[in-house]
């Protein structure tokens, strides 16, 4: 008999991107007949649809982190015999209720990790996050006493988490995937040799996205006209950098948000899109960003600066560029743009390599192995 899985996500701040991918995971699990229910504990939404449930916790900030695991505890008590495996997206151990969940659940608990938590918390520079990082470092070995399996989105993250584990537990790397058939194909505009039009999608211009690197690299650029579109909310740092940019060859546009229709029009007119350029700022060298996968599913070439779990580094539609010295080589980008394949070829690669069905199949195979 196949095991029934409850995939738990405790999300303290509403994220349209995270919520979207969780809904896509629910749809894909249903398509594949994987017996998985998804539970999203969050501060804003509360509803159930098929195999995904959103539960609202009426607190924000730190109170949410304390009481959200208690909501999970109550949910499990009501559905005590429904699940064999608890797949828990690691939320940081900041609540005594979380440890109670671990103690009470009689099935198999698997911990899923999306980041290097310690380094990411330290990268914010905030005193409270430094305290949280130290606490997580001290308490995590105790957390792992209850864990029977480890899932990480990159091998680098898996290796980091294993430092906290005192005994062997099975592990699996399952990188982020995207539901390609639900992503609109746009393709891109071939570089004409006269000017460059590019784009970066960003929620809040986080430091590891490297928006500052793009802008600063254009200060003295003189060869071709460049149009850069930043889609997302600008941070105060980026606003200050933009205020000092004075280059007639460069035009930078910003939109906080665009409708899907307007975004498609813009994407189709660009030559390429930037993915993350400064992941080293939060202690990571390897990643599998959803934005990268979205670009590729849309048929758009990318420029990125990290080791991607699903890319080997020499794909003709993806330029891996070195930005560790906060420098971007636009001449290298121009050479790359001259030989990029057609957009439909890029999308086909996405279907064969980063589709969510492939990722969930691999995950379920690993979980079934733990149960058998």
Percent of the chain with pLDDT over 70: 100
119: helix, coil or strand?
Answer: helix
Residue 355: phi and psi, rounded to 5, are -70, 145
Residues 51, 29: contact at Cβ < 8 Å?
yes
Higher pLDDT among residues 94 and 36, named by residue: 36
pLDDT tens digit sequence for 124-175 = 888 988 998 999 999 999 999 999 999 999 999 999 999 999 889 999 999 9
Average pLDDT of the segment spanning 63-87: 90
One fold for 5-177+355-371 and 181-353: yes
CA distance between the termini of the chain: 9
Q: Are 370 and 39 in contact (CB under 8 A)?
A: no
| All structural domains of the chain with their residue ranges | 5-177+355-371, 181-353
Rounded Cα distance between 89 and 113, Å, is 6
By CB atoms closer than 10 A (0-12, 13-18, 19+), residue 1 is exposed
- 12-24 residue pLDDT tens: 887 778 899 999 9
- Show the tokens assigned to 273: 């899109």
* Structural class in CATH, domain 5-177+355-371: alpha beta
The answer to whether 22 and 51 are in contact (CB under 8 A) is no
CB atoms within 10 A of CB 268: 16
At residue 80, does pLDDT exceed 80?
no
pLDDT at 81 over 90: no
Q: How many CB atoms lie within 10 A of CB 44?
A: 13
Lowest mean pLDDT among 2-11, 33-42, 127-136: 127-136
Top CATH class of 181-353 equals alpha beta
**Mutual orientation of helices 96-104 and 127-143 as an angle, nearest 10°?**
20
Q: What is the pLDDT of residue 249?
A: 95
pLDDT at 213: 95
For the sheet with 272-274, list strands across it: 250-255, 225-231, 195-201, 272-274, 302-304, 318-320
The answer to whether the CB of 188 falls within 8 A of the CB of 272 is: yes
| Residue 238 phi, psi (nearest 5) | -65, -35
pLDDT, tens digit (0-9, with 9 covering 90-100), for 88-133 = 999 988 888 899 999 999 999 999 999 988 888 888 888 988 998 9
Region of poorest pLDDT, from 22-26, 79-83, 235-239: 79-83
The CA-atom distances, in angstroms, between 195 and each of 180, 188, 372 are: 30, 14, 58
CA 192, CA 303: separation in Å to the nearest integer?
18
pLDDT of amino acid 174 = 98
Residues 6+ apart with CB under 8 A from 68: 10, 12, 41, 57, 59, 91, 95
Per-residue buried b or exposed e for 305-322, using 16+ beta carbons within 10 Å of the residue's own CB:
bbbbbbbeeebebbbbbe
d(CA 9, CA 342): 37
Per-residue model confidence as pLDDT tens digits over 317-370: 999 999 877 889 999 999 999 999 999 999 999 999 999 999 999 999 999 999
Instruction: Give the whole-angstrom CA distance, residue 50 versus residue 68.
Output: 22
Q: Which two tokens stand for residue 292?
A: 């990268």
Nearest Cα to 189, choosing from 126, 293, 272? 272
Mean pLDDT score of the chain:
93
* Cα separation, 352 vs 141, whole angstroms: 37
| Backbone angles phi and psi of 327, in degrees to 5 | -125, 140
* CA-closest candidate to residue 94, choices 137, 58, 57, 124: 137
Answer for the pair 301, 340: CB distance below 8 angstroms, yes or no: yes
Overall average pLDDT of the 22-47 stretch: 95
**pLDDT of the residue at 281:** 87
Do 132 and 125 touch, CB atoms closer than 8 A?
no
DSSP 234: P
Residue 84 above 80 pLDDT?
yes
The strand pairing partners of 200, in sequence order, are 230, 274
């Amino acid at each position: 008999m196949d095991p029934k899985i409850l995939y738990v996500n405790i999300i303290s701040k509403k994220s349209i991107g995270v919520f979207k991918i969780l809904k896509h995971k629910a749809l894909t699990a249903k398509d594949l007949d994987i017996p998985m229910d998804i539970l999203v504990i969050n501060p804003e939404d509360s509803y159930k649809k098929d195999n995904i449930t959103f539960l609202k916790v009426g607190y924000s900030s730190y109170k949410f982190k304390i009481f959200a695991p208690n909501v999970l505890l109550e949910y499990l008590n009501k559905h005590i015999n429904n699940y064999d495996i608890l797949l828990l997206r690691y939320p940081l151990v900041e609540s005594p209720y979380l440890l109670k969940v671990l103690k009470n659940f009689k099935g198999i608990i698997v911990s899923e990790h999306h980041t290097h938590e310690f380094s990411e918390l330290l990268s914010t520079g905030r005193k409270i996050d430094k305290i949280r990082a130290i606490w997580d470092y001290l308490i995590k070995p105790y957390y792992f006493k209850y864990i029977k399996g480890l899932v990480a989105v990159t091998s680098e993250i898996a290796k980091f988490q294993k430092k906290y584990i005192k005994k062997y537990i099975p592990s699996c790397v399952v990188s982020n995937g995207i539901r390609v058939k639900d992503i609109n194909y746009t393709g891109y505009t071939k570089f004409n040799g006269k000017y460059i039009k590019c784009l970066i999608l960003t929620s809040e211009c986080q430091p590891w996205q490297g928006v500052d690197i793009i802008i600063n690299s254009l200060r003295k650029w003189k060869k071709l006209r460049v149009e850069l579109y930043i889609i997302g909310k600008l941070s105060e740092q980026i606003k200050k950098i933009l205020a000092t940019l004075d280059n007639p060859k460069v035009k930078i546009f910003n939109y906080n948000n665009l409708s899907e229709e307007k975004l498609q029009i813009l994407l189709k007119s660009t030559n390429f899109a930037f993915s993350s350029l400064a992941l080293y700022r939060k202690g990571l060298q390897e990643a599998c960003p959803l934005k990268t996968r979205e670009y590729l599913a849309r048929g758009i070439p990318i420029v990125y600066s990290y080791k991607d779990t699903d890319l080997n580094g020499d794909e003709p539609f993806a330029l891996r560029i070195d930005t560790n010295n906060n420098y971007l080589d636009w001449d290298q980008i121009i050479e790359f743009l001259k030989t990029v394949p057609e957009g439909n070829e890029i999308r086909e690669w996405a279907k064969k390599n980063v589709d969510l069905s492939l990722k969930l199949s691999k995950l379920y195979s690993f979980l079934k192995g733990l149960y058998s």
